[in-house]
């Protein structure tokens, strides 16, 4: 990282979180129409008829990290209170704009209560950043000096790794399977496969994506031994996310339903490849990571449907889970196409 690493990281994370908030607020982007009412009419409406404590807490919780990241990202502005003031205005302004745009979406109901909760979340996040910001920056700077390799755009790499942890939350995709464009582009279904070949296809998708993310982690690590430990911990964290998502969204008894013979074979293959690839020179690692990323993306677009997905996805079709599923799907679709340019940029040592 550069000397401005903590601020750059905060800016990347703020941009990523902002994009997720916009997508989640307007998903599924269909049925646009003009009702004839002012898009700001919701500000003058009374107390909403339908609301729950969960809705209010969710609206505060989503905007709290946004206010926190905005405030950290703007710390370079002159003046003691400039950054927090601008952060609050940005968070509240984004919420106001999204609520107004929801006036044209039949599946959305703009609400002054939602706007108030969002703005409150932005204020709380900003106050938290103002109180803890100096300590956060000091620890981030020390952490990057000890652990992060001096690669170009390391902050972007850390942001991509954070986004990758959303991918295992999508129940309808194969384990770690990113880059599936078929639903988004309205493409035809999978190429016909014999049932016996499904475990091998699943294993290939899992292995390619695990190798790719493991080599991205390696790119950001200063030492090889550190990389081995970090890669293992990071992939285990991805598996933990997948397990918790299955337990919460489906049933506790289905927490390990993703651990199929294909997934087991893919994880074993990825472990063998990473064992050999992590000590390779930078250029060789970049080539392997890029090939794994592209191969995984191609395979996931050819793979048959995940037989586990139908029951799991049905749970996501309710309330806020529909919006959250939209976020995880978007992240899973875009991740390979954002990571490949990062690999090419970061492979050039300063």
Domain range annotation of the chain? 5-147, 154-346
Q: Residue 317: what pLDDT? A: 46
**CA distances to 21, 24, 44, 160, 316 from 322, in Å:** 14, 9, 28, 23, 5
CB atoms inside a 10 Å sphere around CB 203? 23
CB atoms inside a 10 Å sphere around CB 82? 13
Burial 263-289 (b: 16+ CB within 10 A, else e): bebbbebbbebbeebbeeeeeebbbbb
Cβ-Cβ contacts under 8 Å for 177 (sequence gap 6 or more): 167, 205, 206, 209, 296, 300, 303, 332
* CB contact at 8 A, 97 and 131: no
Lookup: tokens for 340? 């490949």
Q: Residue 89: what pLDDT? A: 94
* Angle, CA 320 vertex, CA 161 and CA 96 arms, to 5°: 85
CA 20 to chain centre: 8
From the number of C-beta atoms within 10 Å of its C-beta (0-12, 13-18, 19+), residue 69 rates as buried
Among candidate residues 262, 205, 214, the one with its CA nearest the CA of residue 238: 214
Q: Residue 2: what pLDDT? A: 45
β partners of residue 221 = 148
Q: What is the mean pLDDT of each run of 10 residues along the chain (350 residues)?
A: 66 86 77 74 69 76 89 83 90 90 80 87 91 74 74 86 87 82 65 68 93 94 90 94 79 77 93 95 93 92 65 50 65 90 79
* CB contact at 8 A, 211 and 288: yes
CB atoms inside a 10 Å sphere around CB 310? 11
SS3 221: strand
Q: Residue 318: what pLDDT? A: 47
Residue 60: what are its φ and ψ, rounded to 5°? -70, -45
Q: Residue 319: what pLDDT? A: 46
């Amino acid at each position: 990282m550069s000397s401005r690493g903590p601020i750059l990281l905060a800016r990347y994370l703020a941009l990523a979180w902002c994009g997720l908030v916009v997508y989640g607020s307007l998903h599924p982007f269909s049925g646009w129409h003009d009702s004839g009412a002012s898009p700001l009419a919701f500000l003058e409406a009374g107390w909403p008829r339908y609301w729950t404590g969960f809705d209010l807490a969710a609206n505060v919780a989503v905007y709290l990290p946004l206010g926190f990241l905005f405030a950290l990202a703007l710390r370079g502005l002159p003046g003691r209170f400039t950054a927090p003031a601008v952060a609050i205005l940005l968070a509240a302004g984004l919420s106001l704009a999204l609520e107004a745009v929801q006036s044209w979406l039949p599946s959305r109901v703009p609400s002054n209560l939602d706007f108030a909760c969002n703005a409150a979340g932005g204020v709380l996040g900003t106050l938290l950043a103002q109180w803890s910001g100096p300590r956060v920056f000091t620890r981030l700077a020390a952490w990057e000096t000890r652990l992060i390799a001096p690669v170009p755009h390391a902050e972007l790499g850390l942001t991509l790794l954070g986004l990758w942890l959303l991918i295992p939350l999508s129940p309808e995709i194969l384990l770690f399977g990113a880059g599936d464009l078929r639903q988004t582009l309205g493409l035809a279904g999978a190429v016909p496969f014999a049932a016996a070949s499904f475990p091998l296809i699943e294993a290939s998708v899992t292995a390619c994506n695990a190798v790719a993310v493991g080599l991205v982690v390696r790119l950001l690590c200063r030492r090889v031994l550190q990389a081995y430990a970090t890669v293992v911990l990071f992939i285990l964290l991805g598996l933990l996310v997948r397990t918790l998502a299955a337990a919460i969204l489906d049933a506790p008894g289905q927490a390990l339903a993703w651990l199929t013979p294909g997934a087991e074979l893919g994880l074993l293959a990825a472990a063998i490849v990473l064992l050999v690839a992590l000590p390779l020179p930078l250029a060789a690692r970049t080539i392997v990571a890029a090939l794994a990323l592209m191969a995984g993306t191609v395979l996931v677009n050819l793979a048959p449907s995940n037989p586990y997905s139908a029951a799991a996805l049905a749970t996501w079709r309710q309330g806020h889970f529909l919006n959250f599923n939209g976020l995880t799907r978007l992240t899973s679709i875009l991740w390979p196409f954002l990571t490949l340019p990062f690999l090419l940029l970061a492979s050039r040592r300063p």
